[in-house]
Amino acid sequence: MTIIYVKTIAAAVLGLLAGLAAVYFFNHMPAKWLCDYDQEPSDELKDPQIQRLKGWPWRWVYAGLFACIAIRLVFTKIEHPPRGFEGLPGDLVQIISQSQLMLAGIIACLAMVIIGIADHKYMIVPDQFVIMLAISSLGFLPFHQGLIQPLGGLTLGGGVMLLTAVIGRITTKKEVMGMGDVKLCTAIGMCLGLRGMIFVLCAGCLASGVQAAIGLATGKYRKGDMKPLGPWLCAAGVIYIFIIWPFYL
């Protein structure tokens, strides 16, 4: 019973800190990170007095979200723990495996939340947080039970986005998808594997399509308007880690 209390409190504290960090990092990251390579930051982005993302209520919304994610992951029953713990008591192996899963999940979700906000507000996918997301895939690697899933995920994610960008460019003579989405899906695929990438692509594209249809029907959008796909891909990635993936472990 003591272990349950310790795990719950530790996970909740870590999640709360991650949620607070998401808003802090977004508001304090270098302005240049939120611009294309050939653009200069606007005065608004460079003004340290302007909150890019309001602390209230978002600081506490994300703190609550990350606390729930951390608690969910740290209590996930892992049927096939990572190799290397042979000879240790089963309960200890579960605690170590669950802690690793929780840390990797929090880092990946933190990166995706920041990327999603940046793409929503500024139509940019910061490379720095894509790299952070890709690095977090190392923490997930033992839970894939081999390299087939992560290799398949990055190939599918990056390949589909790159193919879409190339075909769109050829057929419409303009950019229909940025390379940021290609890099984002490659990193998500590395983390979540082939199964996860299939879910992210299907759910993210479906949600984006519904948003576009509603926007056109209500007159909020016009035909040809560019809308970011990144927020929906990142939201689907967080949902997969939080809700779906634990059932496969």
197-208 burial string, b = 16+ CB within 10 Å, else e? Answer: bbbbbebbbebb
SS3 state at 131:
helix
Q: What is the pLDDT of residue 225?
A: 67
Give the whole-angstrom CA distance, residue 106 versus residue 98.
12
- In this structure, how many other beta carbons lie within 10 angstroms of the beta carbon of residue 230? 24
Structural domain boundaries of the chain?
Answer: 2-248
Say how many C-beta atoms besides its own lie within 10 A of residue 42's C-beta: 12
The reported pLDDT for the residue numbered 93 is: 86
The enclosing H or E element of 185 equals helix 179-218
Mean pLDDT of 166-192: 87
Q: pTM, whole model, 2 decimals?
A: 0.94
**Residues 77-106: tens digit of each pLDDT:** 988 777 767 677 778 888 899 999 999 999
For residue 177, name the pLDDT band (cuts at 50, 70, 90): confident
CA dist., res. 233 & res. 200, Å (int): 6
Say if residue 174's pLDDT is above 80: no
Residue closest to 184 by CA, chosen among 245, 124, 120, 143: 124
| Confidence band for 196, pLDDT divided at 50, 70 and 90 | very high
Q: What percent of the chain shows pLDDT beyond 70?
A: 97
Residue linked to tokens 């929906």: 232
